[in-house]
Chains A and B, each alone.
Chain A
Amino acid sequence: MAVFWGCCILTNQYAYEMSLRHVLPMFDIELVDLPEAICCGDPIKSVNNFSASYLAARALSLANSTGLEDLLVPCNRCHFTLSETKKTIQNNTKIGQKILGLLKEEGLEYNANIKMWHTIDLLHDYVGLKRIKKAVSKPLKGLKVASHVGCQIIRYTDLRRVDDAENPKKLDELINALGAEAIDYPEKLDCCGAALLRSHPDSALSLAGSKLKAVQNLPADGMVVSCPECQLMFDAKQKDAGATVGAKLNVPVVYYTQLLGLALGIDEKKLGLDLNQSPVDQLQAKICA
């Protein structure tokens, strides 16, 4: 199926890309890149919402040009932006016409029927828990994990998201399918703060830090995310977040696909585990024990 990476994954969150590229072939899914690397439009929504929609529609049109019916969008924000644009074009004829007109100027064709997936529902619904369980060769027994599913793939319900907004279970079930145990905690649905990182960095880091602090107090061996922005905040910025909230943070943070890869017996280097800035060695040690 086609895959739209967005910007964050392609330019700095390489581990997500690496782990996806190694894990999905185990389930007979071949990823086909789009002909161009383009932004989904999310960062410029605040400047010009129309042109952000246009960028999203352009991404969907590039996906259409591959001729494939399914499109994987691993980033939460990209997934939300593309979903909203799909709906806008579907509902609003004036805007829709304008966007389609702009696309035509480059000879691009928009296709409303492309099926969009996120990593979580791709694995939970398309591949299925049964198949994943079967494929696990190194069950992560005894591992306790706190899941962070993020915001923009569960909200808002009217847009038909990847999981339930108040009781998202899919990522937890995916974790349990690996033999590990996903634990519940009150801060589960709290936001990582990534959207404020470049304009209000202290507040953004404070939000990430508070959540990490809460996770640290749980009987959890680590935290699992599925969005490159969330990973950036919790993993790459963990030290800064800790400094902002005045806590020593020591939480291993990995992508679900990295954890999945370990359970499937894939080599840690291929999963980009070196690139994680948080103390994932602790996590790996627990797994191997």
Chain B
Amino acid sequence: MQPWLSPVLKEENDVGLSDLMSMAKPNIEARDKILARISGKELVNCFQCIKCTSGCTALKLLELKPHEIIKLVNLGFVDELPSSDIIWTCVTCLKCVQRCPQKASPYHVIIALRNLAVEKEAKVPERYLKAVSQILETGQVDTYQKIVTRKMETVDRESLKLPKICAPKESFQVVFMKAMEEKTV
């Protein structure tokens, strides 16, 4: 991938970068794993114009800084990210993808980091794991709800005469489980 960044050396007098705050070293292998997941997105082209962070919907409330995440992954400081809370704050508004002048994509990198977090069994917000089991069970991510109207009536699909659409046949569950076993995109 990038021959000029040497792999992590095991000797005492290492050459290359280290983070003096956390004593972490770049993990090129892990970074390349992420690059493989988002093949086609030129993550490494980020030149830190900061436009993504300036316009990030999740910055003010949740302190998400897309430029920082890209730079950390770029330099190989990947290990701290999957277990962080910050990668779960992205609102997926796609403004960063739209406006990046170098076609880097913080959104896609964050999705890849989230996938990595699930694989490493780091902390993942409940709703995402629940979604998987819900889809496995019924094919959909929500259950059919009853709604209370403004006129205080309770309605549902049936009472509103909306057609019933079948749940997927059994074969779906088998194949879906197979799909879930894939580790790379």
Write the residues of chain A forming the contact surface with B, with a CB cutoff of 8 angstroms: 5, 7-8, 10-12, 14, 17-18, 21, 33-39, 43-51, 53-55, 58, 80, 91-92, 95, 98, 102-103, 105-106, 151-152, 155-158, 165, 190-191, 193, 195-196, 198-200, 203, 206-207, 272, 274-277, 280-281
Q: Which residues on the A side are within 8 Å of B65 (C-beta)? A: none
Contact of B89 among A43, A203, A275 (CB under 8 A): A203
Q: Which residues on the B side are within 8 Å of A165 (C-beta)? A: 98
A11 CB to closest chain B CB, in angstroms?
Answer: 4
A3 CB to closest chain B CB, in angstroms?
Answer: 10
CB-based nearest A residue for B177: A51
Given contacts A39-B139, A50-B184, 11 further A-B contacts (CB under 8 A): A12-B147, A39-B141, A46-B124, A102-B178, A106-B171, A158-B103, A195-B92, A199-B128, A275-B147, A276-B150, A277-B150
* B20 interfacial contact with A, CB 8 Å: no
B48-61 interface bits toward A, Cβ cutoff 8 Å, 1 = contact, 0 = none = 00000000011001
Contact (A18, B115) CB under 8 Å given A155-B97, A274-B149: no
Contact (A14, B180) CB under 8 Å given A7-B142, A190-B57: no
- Quick check: B62 and A200 within 8 Å, CB to CB? yes
B102-137 interface bits toward A, Cβ cutoff 8 Å, 1 = contact, 0 = none = 010000000110110010000011111101100100
Q: In whole angstroms, what is the CA distance A110 to B147 when docked? A: 36
Q: Which residues on the A side are within 8 Å of B61 (C-beta)? A: 203, 206-207
- Quick check: B92 and A44 within 8 Å, CB to CB? no
Q: In whole angstroms, what is the CA distance A21 to B139 when docked? A: 23
Contact of A196 among B89, B141, B150, B166 (CB under 8 A): B89
Q: Which of B3-11, B21-29, B68-76, B153-161 contacts its partner?
A: B153-161
- Quick check: A47 and B140 within 8 Å, CB to CB? no
- Quick check: B180 and A48 within 8 Å, CB to CB? yes
B10-34 interface bits toward A, Cβ cutoff 8 Å, 1 = contact, 0 = none = 0000000000000000000000000
Q: Which residues on the B side are within 8 Å of A11 (C-beta)? A: 140, 142-145
Q: Which residues on the B side are within 8 Å of A103 (C-beta)? A: 175
- Quick check: B135 and A55 within 8 Å, CB to CB? yes
- Quick check: B165 and A18 within 8 Å, CB to CB? no
Q: Which residues on the A side are within 8 Å of B139 (C-beta)? A: 36-39
Contact (A151, B129) CB under 8 Å given A36-B165, A36-B169, A49-B185: no
- Quick check: A48 and B91 within 8 Å, CB to CB? no
B155 CB to closest chain A CB, in angstroms?
Answer: 7
CB-based nearest A residue for B118: A47
Q: In whole angstroms, what is the CA distance A73 to B85 when docked? A: 33
- Quick check: B97 and A156 within 8 Å, CB to CB? yes
CB-based nearest B residue for A33: B165
Q: Which residues on the A side are within 8 Å of B98 (C-beta)? A: 155-157, 165
Q: Which residues on the A side are within 8 Å of B162 (C-beta)? A: 14, 17-18, 21
B64 CB to closest chain A CB, in angstroms?
Answer: 10
A121 CB to closest chain B CB, in angstroms?
Answer: 18
Q: In whole angstroms, what is the CA distance A180 to B154 when docked? A: 32
- Quick check: B62 and A105 within 8 Å, CB to CB? no
Instruction: List CB contacts (< 8 Å) of B35-49 with chain A.
Output: 37, 39-40
- Quick check: A49 and B175 within 8 Å, CB to CB? no
Contact (A105, B171) CB under 8 Å given A190-B57, A195-B92: yes
Contact of A49 among B62, B115, B129 (CB under 8 A): B115
A6 CB to closest chain B CB, in angstroms?
Answer: 8
* B168 interfacial contact with A, CB 8 Å: yes
Contact of A47 among B58, B124, B142 (CB under 8 A): B124
Q: List 29 A-B contacts (CB under 8 A).
A: A10-B144, A11-B142, A11-B143, A14-B157, A36-B172, A44-B135, A45-B111, A46-B114, A47-B115, A48-B180, A49-B115, A50-B185, A54-B179, A102-B179, A103-B175, A106-B172, A151-B94, A152-B92, A156-B97, A165-B98, A191-B57, A191-B93, A196-B58, A200-B89, A203-B62, A274-B149, A274-B151, A275-B150, A275-B155
Q: Which residues on the A side are within 8 Å of B172 (C-beta)? A: 36, 38, 58, 106
